[in-house]
Structure 1
Amino acid sequence: MKASVLHPGEARESLGFFERIAVGVSNWSERWFPDSYIFAAIAVVLVALGSLATGASVKSVAGAFGDGYWSLIPFTMQMALVAISGYVVAVSPPASALIEKLAALPKSARAAVTFVAFISMGLSLFNWAISLIFSGLLVRAIARRTDLAMDYRAASAAAYLGMGATWALGLSSAAAQLQANPASLPKSLLDITGVIPFSQTIFLWQSMTMAAVLIVVSLLVAWFSTPTGNRARTAQDMGVDLSVTDEAAEGPRRPGEWLEYSPVLTLLLVALGAIWLFNEFSTKDPIFAISSLNTYNFLFLMLGMLLNWRPKRFLNAIAKSVPSVAGVLIQFPLYGAIAFMMTKAQGVDGVTLSHHIASLFVAIADSDSFAVVMGIYSAVLGFLIPSGGGKWIIEAPYVMQAANELHVNLGWAVQVYNAAEALPNLINPFWMLPLLGVLGIKARDVVGFTFTQLLVHTPLVLLMLWAFSMTLAYTPPMMPTP
């Protein structure tokens, strides 16, 4: 860490508005923001108290905690493999060469941070997982440049912007994907919403305009909030190990290691995987297929095998990636417990904390205020249950029934939920964990910069949700043809 920085009075004069906020919150968070595990544990306690306040019994709350603790195990493993497979692909010789070429493009520290933000948000429109891992490894590559004193905290926050700004407005949107596929919709939800194609959600001009505005604004905030010169804290200042080694380049030391350095087994395994992938993508909508985390992880593990060529290099990459998923493995169960306590522990009136919150927001909304009220509701629930759109199944019946009753465009109601759900990601460590593992830092290191984005995004998103809702007419649910 640097021994000295500018004096407080000098810093106030030289720091811009956004940089002052980012650095100030960052300095505060480094002292007071807890580790992401503590953050999740506190959320568990608060939700448990909230459930008890609705009249739920201690037994039902504890039961929901225990039942929910393991409810995210499949998703936890999927998320762990997102980080592992992304890391394995990105450290392979071909991908590393591409990342190094991209890392050489920025000419200044602020340009580097803004470039990372652009890559992150652009990729997230297609796949949030690719955005997280690729952007994180791009930050590490830029940080290795000796000619550029890039603030590692600001760059790391920029790598996360895809999850906090644009992912839910693109093809990664679980809610939009679900509503467009009648075979995936529960009948109870299908009867309320019907089928809502992409043309009425993510491909609305209003939605695409919102995504474009958020990208431009986020890039501006990233540029103006990035500390430069003596104020910048580089990866070296933070003690981050950026070294890259290739132990597989030496070759086998004894006959029994020959297959570890030969591509024969790699080619056979990849050939089998390629046949399965061809069948998967040829029999399904390609966009829908890649949106499955199982398919995504399988694709990238196969690609990782192929690009690393030798099993030895592939295994070395796997071993180095595993420490990055420690937070995912121990913290995601807590979020599963939170979700169950909110949606399973019934109070004295027979309904859950989640239902009470939904009912409150629905009760105060009308056709004009629906977008803002539901946007706030989505953000609040997204902070407590950061599901990446998965909780849409739980919350959609309340939200979409209200939209029908108030004659709000159903496609825009989905986008209201999507756009607002991304907001809490900017300060909730849940989605940060795979990225932070790759970057080798803590949530407290980046939250000052993501919080600065949140301050700008929140009023901007709510304003656009309200304004664009006025341009869309209500249409009755479109039921699928038998």
Structure 2
Amino acid sequence: MEKITNFSVRIVQKYLPSAFVLAVILTAIIFVLGITIADQGPMTMAGYWGDGFSKLFKFGMQMVLVLLTGYVLAMTPIIKNALNALAKQANTPKQALAITIVVSFICYYLNWGFGMVAGAILARAMGSSVKVHFPLLVAAAYGGELVRGPSSSIPLIIATPGHFMEDAIGIVPVSQTLYSSWNIALTIGLLVLLVAFFLLQKQPKDIIVLEEKEEIIETKVFEGKMCFSDWIEHSRIPTLFLGLLAASYIINKIISDTFSLNLNTMILIFLALGLLLHKNSASYLNAAELAVKAARGIIVQFPLYAGIAGMMTNAGLVTIFSNAIISVATIKTFPLLTFLCAGIVNFFIPSGGGQWAIQGPIMMEAAYNLGADPALTIMAFTWGDGWTNQIQPFWALPLLSVAGLSARDIMGYLVIWLGISGIAIAGTFIILM
């Protein structure tokens, strides 16, 4: 295992391009496949790319807000102090890895944006207190990103009244998907495997330690009396009012039994907590400024992947690929093939909701025709969508920005974890069928 991992690390360091260049390469691949496989002309493919470029602006804004609100919450003093206190509990590299994995995994389960930032901040805290190979620590913090928890977009979309496939499949509650007994068991099993995998890794001879570059939320110091604009900006009143307003809305929804856990309510929950836990609007906005910096990769690259999605959809590539998988599926193999199919397409369209909008109707129609369980199909698709995020640098960009590393530094470890986790998830669907 050690030799395989070291080989993977060397190959990735040597050949993996930056996340932006990778997005351009994937665009070129789909462009060529559209011409050669789907019999589309070059200008037609260019038109599909341009039409798709703006299709996911709304969903892209939701993703940025998930990251921003999660980041800002992780930067509150109470959360940072809790993470620093956890870091002080580790005295050895293995303890640092174990604590980082468990905490970041739990945070990812609650919200991927919060988990990504909390994991990166905890990794930095661990790297400051323990002599550990920092890329290995950051890879361990990112390994839990594949977990599918309350902020997983696909099960939440299907559980939301009025979703675009309601007429075909109805409402599928999260009790049958995210909170089914088998899915909870799989989640716990993956955590155990993740801890075991990274604890088995030996520290390299040339350890890369954390380069201290602490992100500081600046607080303006006033000499003399503040004017009203300065006073109100550094007063707790605006953030307290807005935070309580958002919290009141959420509480009222829960009391009236009209609360639905979806992307918008997750953003609102983390917004309320961030506002209430930051000391004033200046502190909140300074943290938001750092969050926007961390989200720059998503902001720049999300439209590129929307363009890829436009080409894949309009040229019929998603349909061609999905039908090729479906043509060999049986009722017993369909969940497994759905998982693999979603994982492959996810590498080109790294957006759960966006991918579901394109590929979901095809897979659900096939599930209906085969008599496959809709809830199981949805979760197979959901796990596939998260699985290949381990080798798709797109979603690692916020964590890498906070940690101060590049995708090349961590992807070698994650390639091996992709294989281990894939066997575990695929094995689960085989057992269930």
Under a length normalisation based on structure 2, what TM-score does the superposition of the two structures give?
Answer: 0.91
1:173 matched to 2:152? yes
**Of 379, 387, 411, which aligns to 1:423?**
387
Match of 1:79 in 2: 63
Q: 1:120-146, CA deviations, whole angstroms, 9 ceiling, x for partnerless residues?
A: 22233332222222212111221221x
Q: Does 1:159 align with 2:141?
A: yes
- AA aligned opposite 2:4: I
Tell me the CA shift for residue 408 of structure 1: 2.2
* Distance change >3 Å, CA 355–CA 234, structure 1 → 2: same
Partner residue of 1:222 out of 198, 203, 206: 198
Q: In the TM superposition, what is the alpha-carbon distance from 1:430 to its structure 2 partner?
A: 1.8
Matching of residues 74-473 of structure 1 within 5 Å: 74-145=58-129, 148-164=130-146, 166-167=147-148, 170-181=149-160, 183-186=161-164, 189-225=165-201, 227-228=202-203, 230-236=205-211, 241-245=212-216, 247-248=218-219, 250-251=221-222, 255-256=226-227, 257-283=230-256, 286=259, 288-289=260-261, 291-292=262-263, 294-345=264-315, 352-469=316-433
Q: Provide, for residues 410-438 of structure 1, a one-character-per-residue CA deviation record: whole Å limited to 9, x for no partner.
A: 22122221222222111001211222222
TM-fit CA distance, 1:358? 0.9
Q: Secondary structure at the match of 1:444?
A: helix
The answer as to whether partners of 2:352 and 2:382 remain within 8 angstroms in 1 is: no
- 2:13 aligns with one of 30, 35, 46: 30
Q: Deviations over 1:8-47 (max 9, x none)?
A: xxxxxxxxx2x43333322322222100000111001111
2: distance between equivalents of 1:246 and 1:410? Answer: 47
Distance 1:275 1:149, change over 3 A: same
Which has the higher Rg, Structure 1 or Structure 2? 1
Q: Deviations over 1:172-199 (max 9, x none)?
A: 3333223334x2333xx34543433333
Find the aligned partners of 1:37 and 1:253 in 2 and give their Cα distance. Answer: 48
Deviation at 1:464, TM superposition (A): 1.9
Q: Secondary structure at the match of 2:110?
A: coil
Q: Any unmatched runs of 5+ in structure 2?
A: none
In 2, Cα distance between equivalents of 1:252 and 1:72: 47
CA separation in 1, counterparts of 2:217 and 2:111? 29
Partners of 1:83 and 1:435 within 8 A in 2: no
**Among residues 24, 30, 33, which one is paired with 1:50 in the alignment?**
33
- Given that residues 93 and 308 in structure 1 are in contact (C-alpha distance below 8 angstroms), is that contact kept between their aligned partners in structure 2? yes
Tell me the SS of whatever aligns to 2:394.
Answer: coil
- C-alpha contact 2:52 2:309 (8 A) present in aligned 1: yes
Give RMSD over aligned pairs.
2.4
| Cα distance in 2, alignment partners of residues 41 and 82 from structure 1 | 25
Letter in 2 for 1:185: H
Q: Which runs of 5+ in 1 are unaligned?
A: 1-16, 346-351, 470-482
More deviation, 451-460/19-28: 19-28
TM-score, length-scaled by structure 1 = 0.82
Query: For residues 289-332 of structure 1, what are the alpha-carbon distances to aligned partners after superposition, in whole Å with 9 as ceiling and x for unaligned?
Result: 4x32x443344344333322133333332333332222112111
C-alpha separation in 1, matches of 2:55 and 2:363: 24
Identity of aligned residues (%): 27
What count of residue pairs does the alignment treat as equivalent? 430
Distance 1:378 1:423 in 2: 9
CA distance in 1 between partners of 2:142 and 2:30 (Å): 26
Give the residue type in structure 2 aligned to 1:269. Answer: L
Cα pair 1:358 1:398 within 8 Å, conserved: yes
Please state whether the residue corresponding to 1:178 is helix, strand or coil: helix
Distance 2:407 2:258 in 1: 36
- With 258-267 and 135-144 compared, the bigger mean Cα shift is at 258-267
Contact 1:248 1:261 in 2 (8 A): no
1:273-296 per-residue CA deviation (whole Å, 9 max, x = no partner) reads 44444445545654x34x32x443
